[in-house]
């Protein structure tokens, strides 16, 4: 298994993302475009990044200074827990309120209030478990 958020892991995540209708198709309906970074709390930069155009991942790799629309950070144990057990809306809210999941870039409140974005966001954690 590739290291979490490595180039190999990010590429596999992007492929699984594009195969998941509740994620890629749902975001395509709202013409979602974004550059999303994933990493660990306390580090200066995210480790991995995906670029999403019209709901589909068009590139996935390590972070190389790209301008991010979203930058998600958490502790290694938290990431591994969410990947293995999944995350639902209640768990997401708790993770955010307790700062276990941090949005260094991006508006969590706006995203969570829009079910067209919130549901796919939660689904992305179950897709991570398929990598």
Q: Where are the domains of the chain?
A: 7-128
pTM of the predicted structure, to 2 decimals: 0.94
Specify whether the CB–CB gap between 112 and 93 falls below 8 A.
Answer: yes
Provide the sign of the torsion angle of the four alpha carbons 118, 123, 125, 131, taken in this order: negative
- As given in the structure block, the two tokens for residue 82 are 């969410």
Specify whether the CB–CB gap between 62 and 7 falls below 8 A.
Answer: yes
Predicted local confidence at residue 1, as pLDDT? 59
pLDDT digits (tens, 9 = 90+) for 80-112: 999 998 888 898 889 999 999 999 999 988 888
Give the DSSP letter of residue 2.
P
Predicted local confidence at residue 130, as pLDDT? 92
Q: What is the mean pLDDT of the chain?
A: 94
DSSP string, 34-45: EEEEEEETT-SS
Average pLDDT per block of 10 residues along the chain, 131 residues long = 90 98 96 97 96 98 97 96 89 91 92 91 93 93
Query: How far apart, in whole angstroms, are the C-alpha atoms of residue 84 and residue 126?
Result: 8
Q: Looking at the domain covering 7-128, what would its CATH class be?
A: alpha beta
Predicted local confidence at residue 67, as pLDDT? 97
């Amino acid at each position: 298994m590739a290291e979490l958020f490595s180039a190999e892991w990010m590429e596999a995540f992007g492929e699984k993302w594009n195969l998941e209708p509740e994620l890629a198709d749902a975001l395509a309906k709202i013409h979602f475009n974004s550059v999303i970074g994933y990493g660990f709390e306390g580090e200066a930069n995210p480790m991995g990044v995906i670029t999403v155009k019209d709901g589909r991942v068009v590139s996935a790799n390590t972070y190389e200074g790209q301008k991010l629309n979203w930058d998600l950070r958490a502790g290694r144990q938290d990431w591994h827990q969410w990947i293995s057990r999944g995350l639902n809306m209640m768990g997401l809210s708790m993770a955010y309120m307790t700062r276990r999941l941090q949005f260094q870039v991006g508006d969590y409140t706006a995203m969570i209030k829009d079910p067209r974005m919130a549901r796919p966001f939660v689904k992305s954690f179950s897709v991570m478990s398929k990598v």
